[in-house]
Amino acid sequence: MEDVILFKNKVNCCGCGACANICPQRAIKIKEDECGFLYPDIDKKKCVGCKLCKKACAYQNKTPQNEPIKVFAAVNKNESQLMNSASGGVFSAIAKQILADDGIVFGATLDFEKGHAVPHHVFVEKESELYRLQGSKYVQSAIGDMYIIAKQFLDEGRKVLFSGTPCQVAGLYSFLNKEYQNLVTIDLICHGVPNAKFFDDYIQMETRKRKGKKVVGYSFRDKKKGWGMNERIDIIDINGKLKNIYVRARANSYNTLFLDGEIYRENCYECKYATRLRVGDLTIGDYWGIEHEHPELLGKYGYEEKKGISCILANSNKGLAICKESSDLLQMNESTFSKVSNRNGQLKKPSEKKESREKILQLYSEYGYEKVEGWFRKKYMKQIIAHSIYNKIPRKVRIKLKKIVKG
Ligand SMILES: Cc1cc2nc3c(=O)[nH]c(=O)nc-3n(C[C@H](O)[C@H](O)[C@H](O)COP(=O)(O)OP(=O)(O)OC[C@H]3O[C@@H](n4cnc5c(N)ncnc54)[C@H](O)[C@@H]3O)c2cc1C
């Protein structure tokens, strides 16, 4: 029997795991490479050569991608859901609508197991569990066997909302290989994913800095200091006392390297979903630049820059219908693709690969995260100091200062 080759080049695998989910022999395991990125690996002793894995590979086969039908600015009307979301809380409003209809919602969560960060996909059936999926986790979430479980619910006739990066949504469609009327999908505007091992090593370094304390929670986008990129680390001391530490993304290594596109998976730099043509029924993201595109909305209908504002692309009639059904929970105002994409380059082309990526990943695989941190501190010293000072200035004062600078 001829060996099945899943991919010849890393650029041809997004690590969604559709191949592992479809394999009837369970012969495919998802393993970390030397830098921590996830790739499928076939156990040749178990493989029977059926090649279902090759057929289920969305990344190497064609996936239907649609032109957005309508585009909106949007914000969740529920204050607490909005504040627990990264952007305008669109995801939780739609998820709530699905759950109220006895549906199931799939998405990414970030668990901490024995002090280690574990980003992975899960499903929730109750609104009280929705908090687990809220908030952006800027790291690849492991799909595990969630495609298999989603199919089981779909075959039982339950309504399913599946959310994730565009490649994860494409992976689900490819795995299912059948149209389901009871499935709704949401893909994110995505500029690329670092891997879970790299992120956890960053968390472990932060833990070591605080002797005797343990990291028990983490938010990539805490809104205490407004809508933007502010991390929050939750630590407990030996007496169980919880403390929240707030750091601007630009003052820490992981988030800066993420934002600058230095540590994504290989294929993210050639992502075929970073375009106007979308995979999901809905695409959601931050409405960056809304102050230029829709100044008339700000301060009205719940649109507040400090609380977060989303954009929605409705890419199918099903997507548009669920938006309309959620209108009690969501404030939506029509916008255009051109306005939304003005400051969201990932809707036009993939992130650019930086020369320093290889250097950073080489340092990491040979010497570990501490060396990456050392490199970062040397290169970004001025930025770290500037942002650490900025972090200490109260928001009201910062806004006043900005106005003075702008004249
Ligand atoms: C890796 C990544 C890159 C992104 N890049 C951009 C960008 O360049 N421009 C932009 O406008 N928006 C980007 N986003 C989307 C943005 O950060 C928000 O997630 C999105 O606007 C939804 O916000 P919300 O307030 O509606 O819901 P929230 O409650 O903040 O988000 C929850 C949703 O995000 C999903 N999710 C969170 N983390 C992950 C993950 N690691 N993998 C898969 N799904 C995840 C959950 O499943 C759920 O559907 C990115 C998100 C991720 C995870």
Q: Which CATH number goes with the domain that contains 15? A: 3.30.70
Instruction: Please work out whether the CB of residue 103 comes within 6 Å of at least one atom of ligand 1.
Output: no
**Closest among 363, 375, 392, 301 to 76, alpha carbons compared:** 301
Query: Rounded to whole angstroms, how far apart are CA atoms 73 and 98?
Result: 21
Instruction: Please work out whether the CB of residue 94 comes within 6 Å of at least one atom of ligand 1.
Output: no
Instruction: Please work out whether the CB of residue 293 comes within 6 Å of at least one atom of ligand 1.
Output: no
Strand ordering across the sheet containing 116-124:
116-124, 104-113, 160-164, 183-188, 282-286, 310-314, 70-76, 330-335
Question: Looking at residue 79, what is its pLDDT?
Answer: 96
Separation of 145 CA from ligand 1 center, angstroms?
A: 21
Q: Domain for residue 395, yes or no?
A: no
Q: Domain for residue 224, yes or no?
A: yes
Nearest CA owner, ligand 1 atom 17: 136
Residues 152, 216 within the same domain = yes
Counting from 1 in the atom list of ligand 1, the atom nearest the Cα of 88 is 25
Contact 30, 75 (CB under 8 A): no
Residue 252, C-beta contacts closer than 8 angstroms, at least 6 positions apart: 202, 231
Nearest CA owner, ligand 1 atom 1: 138
Question: Looking at residue 177, what is its pLDDT?
Answer: 96
Question: Looking at residue 394, what is its pLDDT?
Answer: 77
Counting from 1 in the atom list of ligand 1, the atom nearest the Cα of 139 is 41
Question: Looking at residue 407, what is its pLDDT?
Answer: 66
Residues 68, 47 within the same domain = no
Residues 207, 320 within the same domain = yes
Ligand 1 mutation target, pool 134, 188, 189, 286, most atoms within 8 A of CB: 188
Q: Domain for residue 388, yes or no?
A: no
Ligand 1 mutation target, pool 118, 120, 136, 305, most atoms within 8 A of CB: 136
Q: Domain for residue 210, yes or no?
A: yes
Separation of 133 CA from ligand 1 center, angstroms?
A: 10
Residues 242, 337 within the same domain = yes
Nearest CA owner, ligand 1 atom 24: 89
Q: Domain for residue 165, yes or no?
A: yes
Instruction: Please work out whether the CB of residue 280 comes within 6 Å of at least one atom of ligand 1.
Output: no
Nearest CA owner, ligand 1 atom 47: 107
Q: Structural domain tally of the chain?
A: 2
Residues 68, 51 within the same domain = no
**Structure token digits, residue 323:** 């938006």
Residues 100, 171 within the same domain = yes
Residues 252, 346 within the same domain = yes
Q: What is the pLDDT of residues 248-282, one digit of tens each?
A: 888 899 999 999 999 999 999 999 999 999 999 99
Residues 205, 353 within the same domain = yes
Residues 130, 38 within the same domain = no
Residues 195, 302 within the same domain = yes
Separation of 370 CA from ligand 1 center, angstroms?
A: 28
Separation of 278 CA from ligand 1 center, angstroms?
A: 15
Separation of 44 CA from ligand 1 center, angstroms?
A: 36
Question: Looking at residue 101, what is its pLDDT?
Answer: 96
Query: Rounded to whole angstroms, how far apart are CA atoms 115 and 217?
Result: 9
Alpha carbons within 13 A on the beta-carbon side of 314: 22
C-alpha torsion angle, residues 169, 229, 210, 390 (rounded to 10):
170
Separation of 190 CA from ligand 1 center, angstroms?
A: 7
Q: Domain for residue 207, yes or no?
A: yes
Query: Rounded to whole angstroms, how far apart are CA atoms 200 and 107?
Result: 20
Which residues does residue 162 pair with via DSSP β-bridges, in sequence order?
106, 185
Please, what's the b/e burial string for 138-147 (b: 16 or more CB within 10 A of its CB; e: otherwise)?
bbbbbbeebb
Q: What is the pLDDT of residues 204-230, one digit of tens each?
A: 999 998 888 889 999 999 998 889 888
Counting from 1 in the atom list of ligand 1, the atom nearest the Cα of 287 is 11
**Closest among 31, 25, 16 to 50, alpha carbons compared:** 25
Residue 327, C-beta contacts closer than 8 angstroms, at least 6 positions apart: none
Nearest CA owner, ligand 1 atom 50: 190
Residues 42, 92 within the same domain = no
Question: Looking at residue 153, what is its pLDDT?
Answer: 98
Instruction: Please work out whether the CB of residue 219 comes within 6 Å of at least one atom of ligand 1.
Output: no
Question: Looking at residue 406, what is its pLDDT?
Answer: 65
Instruction: Please work out whether the CB of residue 256 comes within 6 Å of at least one atom of ligand 1.
Output: no
Give the dihedral sign, CA 178/180/183/186: positive
Question: Looking at residue 174, what is its pLDDT?
Answer: 97
Instruction: Please work out whether the CB of residue 351 comes within 6 Å of at least one atom of ligand 1.
Output: no
Instruction: List the domain range (segments joined by +) for residue 280.
Output: 63-380
Question: Looking at residue 2, what is its pLDDT?
Answer: 83
Tell me which residues of the chain have a pLDDT lower than 70. 395, 406-407
Q: Domain for residue 42, yes or no?
A: yes
Residues 90, 175 within the same domain = yes
Q: Domain for residue 267, yes or no?
A: yes
Residue 310, C-beta contacts closer than 8 angstroms, at least 6 positions apart: 73, 74, 75, 87, 88, 89, 90, 284, 285, 286, 287
Residue 176 burial by Cβ neighbours in a 10 Å radius (0-12, 13-18, 19+): buried
